[in-house]
Amino acid sequence: MSYRELATRPVLAWSAVMVTGRLPVAMAPLALVFLVRERPGGYTLGAVLAAAYVLGEILAAPVLGMRMNAGRARPQLVAGLAVGAAGFTGLGLAPDAHPVVLAALALLAGTGPAAVPGALRALLTSLVPERAVTQAMSAESVLTFGLWAAAPALTTGLALGVDPAVPLLLQGLLTGLSVAGLWLLPAGWSAEAQEKGASMRRALLRAWPVYVLGAAGLTLLALAELVLPALLEQRGIGIGWAGPLLAGFSIGSAVGAFVYGLRGSWPGPLAVQSLVLVLAVAAGVALAAVLPWTAAIAVALVAAGLLQAPASLTRNLALRQVLPPSALAAGYSVMYAAVGAGYAAGGSLAGGLLKVVAPSTAILWGVGLTVLLTVIGAAGERRLTRRAPDVAEREARTDVAPARSGG
């Protein structure tokens, strides 16, 4: 199935909802920094607000995802997006409020829509035939990386060219538009029995190796984004190159997602694909840390970006193999929290190491953490694969929906 066949009315409507709902998320951390940067200690406060926002996402995603009704998800999605829109709008209307109030609004903006990305992914895969799932998820990845590439420029332009509050007000407006767009989509994605309580938790816990590999991949992204400016200074390269180099990484990721989706399947099991891809991305980031020339760093980052998106795609496709359909949104939400935690862990490790070692050494330590997480996840996934037939048989005897075999 080609990408052209995805151009149906439901998928195009889904794309509009996804863009209006996800662009505010991509803009949020930088917009919060610009909102308060002119205050005394503004950059520190901005970092705290961004941390509050991300913390809200990480903590709320698995909790809200587990409560999502697969058959009738629309009311929960509307409520979550409405809370997010209120949080963004409140920040834009009260930029001079007390820091505690701003932190509460940032936490609210991150918490409300935290389960929306996972639910939208589950909804997307229900809108296309099984044979087109890889293409659909690849197209989602292309859109996501495109939004993440455009968000910094849009946020910076509005904050510096108009007013620091404008990006937050735009985020509130876009999130509200995504609420309206939900009525163009089905109310849910699964007519099968909804798993509850212990059954849901068992299904999600059984997939822990997939989440660990997802966290490993985002650890690398944190290293590439957060340590690159310091690395350029270490190499005597103008810090202004950081933006173009990171844009190259994002563009490479979008291209990699598109290429991965050109085929319905690739050689080897998804677990092996993911292992190879994550290790290859780690090698690319490590090369960027040790190479002394701007052009060489650019090539290494673009190559790492090309493989970053397929690595992420294989993780999400693997979840479809180990989770029942009614638990997919919860699984995607847990993955969302896991990769957020991986990003935070990579950034925190790098930030701490930068105080005592050179930026290149900090990146290499982060790559070592990624390799360790990858080995743990791969070992767990191998065990999970061996146990899958026994688990499926046991679930069938207890009337638990079997895991899907698609992907």
Q: What is the pLDDT, as a whole number, of residue 402?
A: 33
Q: Please say if the pLDDT value at position 167 is more than 90.
A: yes
Q: What is the pLDDT, as a whole number, of residue 203?
A: 78
Q: What is the pLDDT, as a whole number, of residue 264?
A: 65
Least-confidence region, from 37-41, 139-143, 162-166: 37-41
Residues 162 and 255 in one domain: no
Tokens of 3: 């990408």
Residues 139 and 48 in one domain: yes
Residue that wins the pLDDT comparison between 84 and 68: 84
94-115 tens-digit pLDDT: 999 999 999 999 999 999 999 8
Residues 185 and 202 in one domain: no
Q: What is the pLDDT, as a whole number, of residue 21?
A: 92
Residues 244 and 302 in one domain: yes
Q: What is the pLDDT, as a whole number, of residue 393?
A: 42
Q: What number of H helices and E strands is found in the chain?
A: 15, 0
Give the separation between CA 220 and CA 40, rounded to whole angstroms.
33
Cα dist from 290 to 180, 230, 252, 300, whole Å: 49, 13, 20, 10
DSSP 264: S
Residues 204 and 242 in one domain: yes
Q: Report residue 130: phi and psi, to 5°.
A: -55, -35
Residues 231 and 184 in one domain: no
345-397 tens-digit pLDDT: 777 777 777 778 888 888 888 888 888 888 888 888 777 665 554 444 444 44
Q: Which domain holds residue 270?
A: 195-407
Residues 203 and 176 in one domain: no
Q: Can you say how many angstroms the Cα of residue 304 is from the centroid of all Cα atoms in its chain? A: 17
Residue that wins the pLDDT comparison between 294 and 23: 23
Q: pLDDT class for 295, splitting at 50, 70, 90?
A: confident
Number of C-beta neighbours around residue 376 at 10 A? 16
Give the separation between CA 148 and CA 261, rounded to whole angstroms.
19
Mean pLDDT of the region 236-255 = 80
Name the H helices within 163-269: 166-181, 197-206, 208-226, 228-235, 242-261
Q: Please say if the pLDDT value at position 403 is more than 50.
A: no
Give the separation between CA 89 and CA 97, rounded to whole angstroms.
13
Domain closes at, from 126, 161, 191:
191
Percent of the chain with pLDDT over 70: 91
Residue whose structure tokens are 């904050």: 159
Q: Can you say how many angstroms the Cα of residue 234 is from the centroid of all Cα atoms in its chain? A: 30
Residues 287 and 379 in one domain: yes
Domain closes at, from 150, 174, 191:
191
Residues 11 and 107 in one domain: yes
Q: What is the pLDDT, as a whole number, of residue 395?
A: 42
Least-confidence region, from 125-129, 175-179, 323-327: 323-327
> Vertex 239, ends 236 and 241: CA angle to 5°?
105
Q: Report residue 391: phi and psi, to 5°.
A: -65, -45
Q: How many domains does the chain have?
A: 2
Residues 5 and 130 in one domain: yes
Half-sphere exposure at residue 190, Cβ-oriented, CA atoms within 13 angstroms: 22
Residues 16 and 158 in one domain: yes
Residues 226 and 330 in one domain: yes
CATH number, domain at 62? 1.20.1250.20
Domain closes at, from 161, 191, 221:
191
Mean pLDDT of the region 255-269 = 81
Give the separation between CA 234 and CA 44, rounded to whole angstroms.
24
